[in-house]
């Protein structure tokens, strides 16, 4: 994810000299240096001592130790901190870093890896307007980014766009399987499924009409689509998505409690 963010910034015109990374693993360092042409340090503190914007992109369970190891350098330099670690709450991260810092927490999703991410962002009260713009420009380098006005909503974003790609992959899997069961060649079923998903997303993103209206337009009374949609509605698709998102929100909240505990 860190490499994707750095790659997005370079594509957006950031000078290579303005982006520095750190990673304790020598192979990762070599890989990142070769792929991006930027300086990659072995010690996180080398970056923390230099960065005006410090992006934390380690796994959530590693963040407490990483933050504690950075606290002294961060308190000295006082950068804008941007965390992309899923589930870790601002007050916990701020405490681990020694307190009183401008921090933006964000939740990108896996499509950020190909520049089509959808991220939610939340800033603490110490983040000033130009810093909000800076954090936003970093996440916009890999997709769209929206601000939330309550950190509690980050769990909902986690359940929607964080986990969301998997919901659509599941629909693609099911649709492809059904087409094959009805006699289509697997390769044909795959191609038509993926292009249909892409085309539908593109039409919806154009935004001329909302999804419900787009659906109504392709659902002629007594037609094939109507039959299929009726089966999905009768099977409780809406209630299922409601329950699925609730379950993911609950889990995200549990992760937040777990990561912030004892620290
Ligand atoms: N991938 C996603 O779709 C996604 C979506 C939303 C949010 N996120 C968040 O983004 C963060 C990164 O996820 P990822 O998928 O990019 O994970 P990842 O591929 O495991 O990347 C984490 C990187 O941090 C490095 N690292 C480990 N310990 C470190 C330390 N002490 N100091 C500095 N670097 C260290 C790892 O190096 P080694 O390989 O050597 O361990 C690895 O290069 C996570 O917090 C995750 O919750 C990811």
Domains and CATH numbers, the chain: 2-150 (3.40.50.720), 164-252 (1.10.3730.10)
Give me the phi and psi of 38, to 5 degrees please: -110, 165
**164 Cβ neighbours under 8 A, 6+ residues apart:** 109, 118
Give me the phi and psi of 144, to 5 degrees please: -95, 155
Strand residue runs (E) in 57-127: 80-83, 103-107, 117-123
Residues 119, 106 contacting (CB under 8 angstroms): yes
- Per the rule left: phi > 0, alpha: psi between -120 and 50, beta: everything else, 225 is alpha
Quick one: tokens of 241? 């998505």
pLDDT tens, residue order, the chain (263 aa): 999 999 999 999 999 999 999 999 999 999 999 999 999 999 999 999 999 999 999 999 999 999 999 999 999 999 999 999 999 999 999 999 999 999 999 999 999 989 999 999 999 999 999 999 999 999 999 999 999 999 999 999 999 999 999 999 999 999 999 999 999 999 999 999 999 999 999 999 998 999 999 999 999 999 999 999 999 999 999 999 999 999 999 999 999 999 987 55
Distance CA(217)–CA(95), nearest Å, equals: 53
Q: For the segment 182-199, what is each residue's pLDDT rounded down to a tens digit?
A: 999 999 999 999 999 999
pLDDT of 42 reads 98
pTM of the complete model:
0.92
- Which protein residues touch ligand 1 with a CB less than 6 Å away? 1, 22-25, 28, 44, 57-60, 62, 66, 84-86, 107-110, 162
Q: Which helix (H) or strand (E) holds 56?
A: strand 53-56
pLDDT of 262 reads 56
Distance CA(11)–CA(191), nearest Å, equals: 30
The residue to mutate among 57, 92, 105, 116, having the most atoms of ligand 1 within 8 angstroms of its beta carbon, is 57
């Amino acid at each position: 994810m860190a490499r994707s963010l750095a790659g997005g910034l370079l594509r957006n015109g950031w000078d290579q000299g303005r982006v520095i990374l750190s990673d304790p693993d020598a192979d990762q360092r070599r890989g990142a240096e070769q792929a991006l042409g930027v300086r990659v340090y072995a010690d996180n503190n080398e970056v923390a001592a230099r960065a005006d914007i410090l992006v934390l992109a380690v796994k959530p369970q590693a963040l407490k130790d990483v933050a504690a190891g950075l606290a002294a350098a961060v308190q000295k330099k006082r950068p804008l901190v941007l965390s992309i670690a899923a589930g870790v709450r601002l007050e916990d991260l701020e405490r681990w870093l020694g307190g009183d810092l401008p921090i933006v927490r964000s939740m990108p999703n896996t499509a950020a890896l190909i520049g089509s991410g959808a991220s939610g962002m939340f800033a603490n009260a110490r983040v000033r307007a130009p810093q909000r713009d800076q954090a936003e420009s970093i996440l916009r380098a890999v997709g769209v980014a929206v601000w939330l006005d309550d950190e509690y909503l980050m769990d909902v974003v986690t359940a929607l766009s964080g986990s969301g790609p998997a919901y659509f992959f599941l629909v693609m899997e099911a649709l492809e399987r059904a087409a094959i069961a009805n006699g289509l060649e697997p390769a044909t079923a795959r191609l038509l499924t993926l292009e249909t998903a892409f085309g539908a997303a593109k039409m919806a993103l154009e935004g001329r009409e909302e999804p419900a209206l787009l659906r109504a337009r392709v659902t002629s009374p007594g037609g094939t689509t109507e039959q299929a949609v009726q089966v999905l509605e009768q099977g409780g698709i809406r209630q299922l998505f409601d329950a699925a998102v609730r379950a993911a929100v609950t889990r995200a909240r549990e992760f937040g409690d777990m990561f912030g505990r004892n620290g």
